[in-house]
Amino acid sequence: MKNLFWFITGGALFYYLYSGSDRDFVVPQHTQVQRSGNGIHRVEFMTLFDQKRPFSAIAADNYYTVVEVYLDSCTICKRLEQGFEPFLKQRQDVMIKRVHFPESGMNFSISSQQEADELQSRIESYRVCGTPHVEIYGPDHQLVSADDCGSKQGTNFLRLWISAETGISRHLL
């Protein structure tokens, strides 16, 4: 049983390190815009949720926008965020919107099954099944890449992009 554990763990590590997820990766073209400030903005998830705004609503006009949903306690998020500053120095045409998810979860007062169903539908519309959750939008607000339940495509895309722009190994992010 112990050998099976190590075999599975080794296989998973090999897949993570050497999977071909970067074979089709293409660095997004630079645009002509130049931002002021550091390019990182914090947004509270509950504000978006209460306003019934999707993540796409916070994409910046004419900029690539990285939406990162995170928890303060998420160590994977913190590792990924280490690459943000050098990445943003290279890419003045990128904005990062860090969407803070409440550590305590969300509390709602529900008085009917219909309200519960509507609330569940709204929550599911965000497609967040863990942190970090990354969505990347182009200057035209079109989705470039996104995580989904069961897929970390957006996070992997961002790791590859940061690595391509900064030289930081994607395995360190």
- Taking only the tens place, the pLDDT of each residue in 134-172 is 999 999 999 999 999 999 999 999 999 999 999 999 889
Q: What is the pLDDT of residue 4?
A: 54
Residue 18 lies in a domain: no
Q: H or E segment at 4?
A: helix 2-18
Phi/psi region, residue 99 (left: phi>0; alpha: psi -120 to 50; beta: rest), is: beta
Residue 25 lies in a domain: no
% of the chain with per-residue pLDDT over 70: 87
Residue 144 lies in a domain: yes
CATH number at residue 64: 3.40.30.10
Residue 12 lies in a domain: no
24-38, 125-139, 159-173: least confidently modelled range = 24-38
Q: How confident is the model at residue 70 (pLDDT cuts 50, 70, 90)?
A: very high
- Contact 83/168 with Cβ under 8 angstroms? yes
Q: What is the pLDDT of residue 97?
A: 98
Comparing 82 with 12, the larger pLDDT belongs to: 82
Q: What is the pLDDT of residue 30?
A: 83
Q: How confident is the model at residue 14 (pLDDT cuts 50, 70, 90)?
A: very low
Q: What is the average pLDDT score of the chain?
A: 88
In what order do the strands lie in the sheet containing 94-100? 40-44, 94-100, 64-70, 133-137, 143-146
Tokens of 146: 């996104």
Instruction: Report the domain count for the chain.
Output: 1
* Segments forming the whole domain that contains residue 97: 39-102+113-172
Residue 143 lies in a domain: yes
